[in-house]
Copies of this chain bind each other. A is one copy, B any other.
Amino acid sequence: MKHRQPLPPDMFDELCPSSLVPFRFGDKWAALILRCLEGGPRRFSELRVPLHRVTPKVLTQSLRRLERDGLVSRAVHADPRPGVEYALTPLGRSMLEPMDAACAWAAEHWDELIDAREQYTAP
Contact = CB atoms under 8 A, between A and B. Distances in A.
Contact of A120 (B22, B68, B117): B68
A110 B2 contact: no
Contacts of A106: 17-18, 20-21, 24
Given A10-B53, A50-B7, A50-B11, A105 B98 contact: yes
Nearest to A104: B98
Contacts of A52: 10
A35 B17 CA distance: 14
Contacts of A1: 40
B2 A41 contact: yes
B21 A102 contact: yes
B22 A30 contact: yes
